[in-house]
Amino acid sequence: SESSGQSYLITAVLQDSQGNEVWSDSYAFSPYEAHTFTVNVPSEGSYTLDLTWNGKTAVYSIQVNPAITLKTKTITVEKGGEGVITLHLKNPSSDVQYYTIKVSGGFLPSEINQSISVAPLTEKDVSIAFAVT
C-alpha cells in the first residue's frame, strides 16, 4: 500500500533459480491506495521476487517446498495380498487445501481415487490401502 501521498509504479518480477522470468505484473498506485498482487508460482523450487519502484529494488528469496511427499518408498505385496501407501501432506496456507490422490497400475483391478482435505497451517499423513489381484 502507498502511505506517503505519492503516486508510484511498482513492478513485480518472479524468477526461477536459473534467472528465467516466470511471472510479472505492475501496478500504478495512487496516493494512499492499496493493491494486492496475486503471484502465480508454477511449482515447488527456489525463486526470487524483485519489486521495483522509483529507482529502488527490493529482492526477496522464496522457497516453495512440495506439499505432498511419499513416505512409503518401497512396497512388496504378493498376489492376493494388501499393500499400503503413506503420503505426508502439508498446508502452509491460510485456506483449506483439497487434493485427489490417484493410485493406478497393472496390479490393481481399477484406479483408486481418494479425496483429501488439509486444514490451514497443518500437516497430516494419509494411508491408502489396496489389494493386489
Cα(112)–Cα(123) distance, integer angstroms: 22
Q: Give tens-digit pLDDT for 28-83.
A: 988 888 889 988 888 888 999 999 999 999 999 998 877 888 899 888 888 888 98
Q: Which amino acid is at 23?
A: W
pLDDT band for position 84 (50/70/90)? very high
pLDDT beyond 70 at 2: no
Instruction: Report whether 129 contacts 114 (CB < 8 A).
Output: no
Q: For the chain, give every domain's residue range.
A: 8-64, 68-131
Q: What is the mean pLDDT of the chain?
A: 89
Instruction: Report whether 84 contacts 49 (CB < 8 A).
Output: no
Select the more confidently predicted residue: 125 or 92. Answer: 125
CATH entry 3.40.50.150 includes domain 8-64: no
C-alpha 96, offset from chain centre: 13
Q: Give tens-digit pLDDT for 41-50.
A: 888 889 999 9
Say what the pTM is. 0.57
